[in-house]
Chain A
Amino acid sequence: MSAYQSVPAAGGRLPLGRVRALARGQGVPIAAGTVVALVVLAAVFAPLLAPYDPNAVDPLAVSQGSSAAHWLGTDDTGRDILSRLLYGARPSLLAPALITLTAGLAGTALAVSAAWLGGWYDRVVSAFLDLVFGFPGLVLAVVGAAVFGAGLDIAVITLSLAYLPYIARVVRSAALRERALPYVSALGLLGLSGRRICLRHLLPNLLPLVLVQATTSFGYTMLDVAAFSFIGLGTQPPTAEWGLMVANGAPGIIAGQPEQSLYAGLVIVVFVIACNLLGSGLSRRLLGEDR
């Protein structure tokens, strides 16, 4: 049995008492998870929750403060900030989700195969990961945008590549430790193929680690995507996106109209912190360590 098998599988059934015990002392991760879940729900149900069309301009209601009609005020073209925040959650979450998923899947596949095969293949993969790790994600994304043009799709592709090492390097180390455990040799002696051992035994034991890494990375990718849009290379107007909203509202800050930037920035900060706290909580619960 591996070290990771001591924790019940995420999908396993837990009696109510066990859930309570699990929750005990886990107030912060639960609160963080709740925040993440609420934001995801807001994104999914934005059309039902948003009071206005997020792109409906109103020249007669430009840069207004909070009111009964516009709870969070309006932006510099009279659009409702609350509606734009709700709709903006969609690209703001979708792009980081795609990046994390791509980097998670590709990174895990590379890491496990490198750890299993070893030799020159492992050296090549490790060198590649080190090379990519040397480039800050945002720089890579900006270079991508310079070559292929602006857009969120470029951000997803380049940041997926940039975040590959963040997951692959950690998983590879864990996979090497796992591969050295006696049960793996035993499975080999039983005649199981390498692919079967990797997919059916190694991988499930590494999943908690991948989940923790992905959760933490999700927050950082969101920051990068927001920054990418902030500098005008990601989501293009008039689509609502949090990074773009921060950029759009920035000139208004000094003029005493900080609402757009303030609320969009606040949502990003809260969500990123929630992802980090959730990642730490999962790490403690699933891996028994602080991250």
Chain B
Amino acid sequence: MKAPRITAPAAGGALCVLLTATACTSGTTADPAPGPRKLTLTTPAATGALDDVTWNLPMGEPRTLDSAKVADYSPSTVKANLCDSLLRLEPDYSIAPGLASSWSRPDDKTLVLNLRKGVRFWNGHPMTAGDVVSSLRRQGDPATQSVNASLLARVKTITATGAHQVTVRFESPDEMFFKGLATSFGTVNEAAYVKKAGRAYGSAKGGLMCTGPFELASWKPGESITATRNAEYWDTSLRPKIKKLRFTFITDGSTLTSALLSGEVDGSYEISSAGARALGSADVGTLYHGPSAQTNFIAAIGEDSPLADRKISEALSLVLDRDDLIKNVYAGAAQKLKTFVPPLVWENGEAADIYAEGYDALPAVPGVDVEKAEKLVDQARTERRTLTVAMAAGDQQSQQTLTFLQAGAKRIGIKIVIKQLQPTQMSGLFFDASLRKGLDATMVLGYVEIPDPISYAQLLTDPESLFNWTKYRDPEVTSLLDRARAATEPTKSARLFTRAQQRYSADLPVVPLASPHERLFLNKRLSGAPSSFAYLNMPWAAHLGGTGKGTS
């Protein structure tokens, strides 16, 4: 519920919200001391075909599948299998060719994309350079209300310069545009279909027209979405092994766990900690843990929030035992973070060693030090010692975390008031300032989609960002990140970013908690799906297939 569970995807600079009885008492204890998890990027390759698979979307039914508006777990999970992007994200968060087979940069302000030949939409029409131009341009049209609009901020022109070539010219260099092509921003939709469907494009009524390995067959609102195999998929190595893929919308963790245990649902990403405890030892399937680009932190709201005072945020950080938190809240499936960008975002990309060096140079994740925390509270500028922190009602992870924080804060004279918000209020909080009134902080579960940490850092530090609620302003940080974004040389970009990271990490009123691992459950008759968080932007179901075990 999940969280509240808040998610903050960074595609195009959008931060959005999400939201995560037995007959006798157990007399048992929880998994007491889960050791380090073995993380895998993917599951064993599938060996056979299957007629149908039922997959669950634990965050609920998507509002839209229009790639211009997709910025949440559920729509991304579905859309990634229906619509291809110009670039493709790999399980290790590296970038590979997608509908663009190659690219070149004649100069810093020009990007030439060479399109793959022979690609057809589901209706048999060939994909053209015009479709690519139209798909990118419509995201800059205010009428589209695209979550990716900011990625077009530095674009001067996008033109078809050949039957299979598109050229993008920039006002100023922007590497984020290129990396963003690996997310929903780079999705290619058929221009004629989009025009005909109008505002209904991507909805149950308007449908979709893409080139992906699965075709949207039906969408019964409130019930399910069904996708069928695209037998003519251009990537012959990824032609689906599943004929029919049905998505269900079970949001209750217990119900989902029961459905997975009974075989009613074959698989799901984003398994909760409680669900993992039950599914971890189940013989009906396997629970996989993968690396993740998700990040959990507490963000201050408003300049007058006590948490906006660096002394208070540091003091709270010092009363929170993250080892206990990972053990008890995440059932061991998380890693401590020094900052709010998880290493998966950069650790397998270019200049990874520079990013790693920058991360290592950050102060260590603090252990519990109540005495120091008390001193910090005494030194704080603010007189307020009560903090109202929002969380989504029903989000067990957030509630557990805040309960531990409450107890710790009480020891240093700070009172934490927990305010549970309903999912719509929680998601609205990120975009509607009136919903943030009376709140001093909120739990955030965000994720980084673009395989580059700059976009996420800018969300929280740029004075113009919608999500910079404390009006954090450091001209040096802004300048460094802007220059890093413009640098086409990866090592230069990484160096500029790590310098900015060193500065804002020392000032930013954010309390990083942990980066939860990706949790995937597959029925024993299934295998092949990636277990990395990259699934959100890759055609994961095209990898899925049978194992020959269980009922086919």
Contacts and interface: CB of A to CB of B under 8 A. Distances in A.
A150 B420 contact: yes
Interface stretch (B68-76, B403-411, B518-526, B533-541): B403-411
Contacts of A248: 396, 399
Interface string B307-336: 000000000000001001001100000000
B117 to A, nearest CB: 50
Given A65-B29, A248-B396, A237 B402 contact: yes
Given A65-B28, A238-B406, A253 B22 contact: yes
Interface string A48-86: 000000011101101111100000010011100000000
Given A231-B393, A237-B399, A251-B272, A258 B30 contact: no
A257 B28 contact: yes
A35 B419 CA distance: 33
A265 B23 CA distance: 13
A248 B420 CA distance: 12
B393 A257 contact: no
Contacts, number: 109
B278 interface: yes
Nearest to B328: A62
Interface in A253-274: 253-259, 261-262, 265
Given A57-B403, A255-B274, A257-B30, A76 B396 contact: yes
B418 interface: yes
A232 interface: yes
A258 B396 contact: no
Q: How large is the interface on A (under 10, 10 to 19, 20 to 34, 35 or more residues)?
A: 35 or more
Interface in B18-47: 21-22, 25-30
Given A59-B321, A77-B328, A236 B404 contact: no
Contact of B418 (A77, A233, A236, A252): A236
Contacts of A64: 29
Nearest to A59: B324
B154 interface: no
A254 B420 contact: no
Most B CB contacts (10 A, CB to CB) among A78, A236, A250, A254 go to A254
B417 interface: yes
A247 interface: yes
Given A251-B253, A251-B396, A255-B278, A73 B25 contact: yes
Most A CB contacts (10 A, CB to CB) among B274, B402, B404 go to B274
Contacts of B29: 63-65
B437 to A, nearest CB: 10
Given A251-B254, A255-B275, A261 B21 contact: yes
Most A CB contacts (10 A, CB to CB) among B273, B393, B402 go to B393
Nearest to B257: A254
A259 B399 CA distance: 18
A60 B33 CA distance: 10
Contacts of B258: 254
B97 interface: no
A258 B21 CA distance: 6
Interface of B: 21-22, 25-30, 253-254, 257-258, 272-275, 277-278, 321, 324, 327-328, 393-394, 396, 399-400, 402-404, 406-407, 417-422
Interface of A: 55-57, 59-60, 62-66, 73, 76-78, 150, 231-233, 236-238, 247-248, 250-259, 261-262, 265
Task: Report, nearest first, the 10 A-B pairs whose CB atoms are least far apart.
Answer: A232-B393, A251-B274, A65-B27, A255-B277, A59-B324, A232-B420, A63-B30, A57-B407, A256-B26, A254-B257
